[in-house]
Structure 1
Amino acid sequence: MEFKDLEIFQMVAKKGTITEAAKELSYVQSNITSRIQKLETEMNTALFNRHNRGMTLTPEGKKLLVYCEKILKLTNEMKKVVQSKSEPAGKLEIGSIETVIKLPVILSAYNKKYKNVDLSLLTGVTEQLQNDVLNHNLDGAFITEINQHPELVAHDVFQEELVLISDNTKTSLEQLKKEPFLCFSKGCGYRARLENWYKDQNITPQKVMEFGTLETILGSVAMGLGITFVPKSAVSHLEEKGLIQCHYLPEKYSKINTVFIRRKDAYLTSTLEKFIETFEQSKGEPAYPLT
């Protein structure tokens, strides 16, 4: 059995068809087919159910996939350890919530200094990003601070003040209690904070509307569609232009920390180590304003 066979098996399981797997791996379909057949012969069992719509894993195939993912993750970590150099190089996959206002400063500084690193960024909500780091899908992520997971290390980045924002026609908290709540999906730390405030105030939002991007949420609030709860640093430019109004909640709900998480048991490559150094050094620097 070769590592490449496991990579092909994993991709076919993910894509569900030989055609899509071949396209993703830049292989000819016949090569994919022969590799899967070879693996099934070695395992002495069928790993896929073949049907008109593609291929699905058999019970034995599902068992193999669990071990396959573990083996490939360990293989990738082994390569990082062996190939680690003083000069960062290779892939670095970072996740972040959308409201880290200093992120452009951090990414720009790192990219300019370490040009041999292929840096990629995935945005999402805190809960999903934490799961991605735990499952080795990301090297690290900027998230809102939640209960410390025993398998993760958290580095403090900065503290934020959250504000409840509305358009300029609403001037009191009483008015805001009746407004639709615009937010990211479940798993967002800011959403959880405002939901705690609702609960403590015995408020049931008349409507909760989920959006995929911060830009859409802020634009919708400015147009009077509803309210949202976000870092003040992310909306101060809108407040200065008179497009929105900020409302303040008690510190219990409004103060929140942003942290950078990584796996405790994963090898700390020079690539990731230098990234951590970069955002540590940026703590005292001003952020570029959002536009």
Structure 2
Amino acid sequence: MELRHLKTFKVVAEELNLSKAANKLGYTQPTITLQIQSLEKELNHTLFTRIGKRTVLTTAGKQLKVHVDQIFSLIAQMEKEMEELHGPKGILTIAASEYYCTRRLSHIIKHYKELYPNVRVNLLPLNSAHAIQSVKDHVADIAIIAGNFHEIDMRQIFLEEEKTFLVVSSQISKDRSLEDIFGLYPFISYDKNCSFSSIINRYFKTSKLQPQSMIVVGGSDETVKSAVLNGTGYAILGENIIKKELEEGSITILQPVSEPITTFCINLKVRSEEPNIQTFCSVLQRVW
């Protein structure tokens, strides 16, 4: 049984019109007729019949079409997988917070592009909750997230553990106690969808002091840090984003927070062997 005869049958079965099938396949109508007749002889079944002016599939033709569709679907999958073995190419979409996009991923992507120039990398700036959903929805291939995350259909790769601190601008902390700061200034908070919010909630649940007021500024680390530096209030921030300010003395640590920020790379387990995902995760672990 020749594959080209099955291909001809598939197109004729879809079009149910020899003229349209001939145009689609680039054959003459007599050639198509001969191929269908050869297939019918080999299978010992009539595959098409005429009802008035209409061409329709026989019972045998309908059954054969089911198998032929499966055959060509498998062939397409085989060709795709064989092509992927040539190496990564196409588009790789990474979802991550603004901080990870600007501070951590730029040099990693540059290194990755030097190794795999045929891959185009897209960055989606999203907070961790939205980044996770983007991977589930196949909008992003990979997400870089902060906070613990466990789902059975996701692969999780640990990247980093970062200390967290309750901080305020050094100008505010001068000659003021922790109690004074809590009483006079608001707490600068992330929105509830940010992974940081769970760390904040658990900190204040066990803390002796509670914020007298709160300002929610969204999910951007840079926005929270700017509000602290401007003297708007105090906040909980990771060590990495305030390293420079701590060295300069413009931000003061009020208290260490016992729970660190954990950073992970996640992707759907069923996609872990895809060349783009596999190679980027490998580079990410080496360079992070």
Shorter-chain TM-score bucket reads 0.5 to 0.7
Matches within 5 A, 1:193-232: 193-201=199-207, 203-211=210-218, 213-232=220-239
Q: How many residues align?
A: 205
CA distance in 1 between counterparts of 2:151 and 2:255 reads 30
Percent identical residues: 21
Residues in 2 aligned to 1:87 and 1:183: alpha-carbon distance in whole angstroms: 44
- Change in 2 beyond 3 A, CA 1:269/1:175: farther
Residue 282 of structure 1 corresponds to 287
Indicate if the aligned counterparts of 1:182 and 1:217 stay in contact, CA closer than 8 A. Answer: yes
Q: Stretches of 4+ moved more than 4 A in 1? A: 77-82
Q: Kindly tell me: are residues 165 and 271 of structure 1, through their superposed partners in 2, closer, same or farther at Cα, counting changes over 3 Å?
A: same
1 CA distance for matches of 2:177 and 2:105? Answer: 33
Quote the RMSD (CA, aligned, Å): 2.4
Quick one: structure 1 residues 181 and 281, their matched pair in 2 at CA, closer, same or farther if it must change by over 3 Å? Answer: same
When the two structures are superposed, what TM-score results if normalisation uses the length of structure 1?
0.63
- Whole-Å Cα distance in 2 between the matches of residues 78 and 228 of structure 1? 53
**Residue 141 of structure 2 is aligned to residue 139 of structure 1:** yes
Q: Which has the larger radius of gyration?
A: 2
Are 2:274 and 1:269 aligned? yes
For 1:138-192, what per-residue CA distance to the aligned partner results, in whole angstroms no more than 9, with x for missing partners?
1011101324011111001111111222111225433443432323322212222
3-state SS of paired residue (2:161): strand
Instruction: Specify the SS of the correspondent of 1:259.
Output: strand
State whether residues 80 and 269 of structure 1, in contact with CA within 8 Å, keep that contact through their aligned partners in structure 2: no
User: Which ranges in structure 2 are unaligned for 5 or more consecutive residues?
Assistant: 1-76
Of the three residues 180, 188, 194, the one matched with 2:194 is 188
Query: How many Å separate the matches in 2 of 1:159 and 1:106?
Result: 18
* Structure 2 residue aligned with 1:109: 111
Q: Deviations over 1:208-242 (max 9, x none)?
A: 32235333322221010112222111111112222
Aligned to 1:245: 252
Counterpart secondary structure, 1:215: helix
Aligned equivalents of 1:222 and 1:79: distance in 2? 56
CA contact under 8 A between 2:112 and 2:280: conserved in structure 1? Answer: yes
Q: Distance in 2 between matches of 1:79 and 1:92?
A: 20
Question: Matched residues in 2 for 1:221 and 1:128: separation?
Answer: 25
What pairs with 1:24-35 in structure 2 (closer than 5 Å)? none
- Which residue in the other structure is 2:127 paired with? 125
221-230 or 173-182, larger mean C-alpha shift: 173-182
Unaligned ranges ≥5, structure 1: 1-76, 284-291
In terms of fraction of residues, the more helix-rich structure is: 2
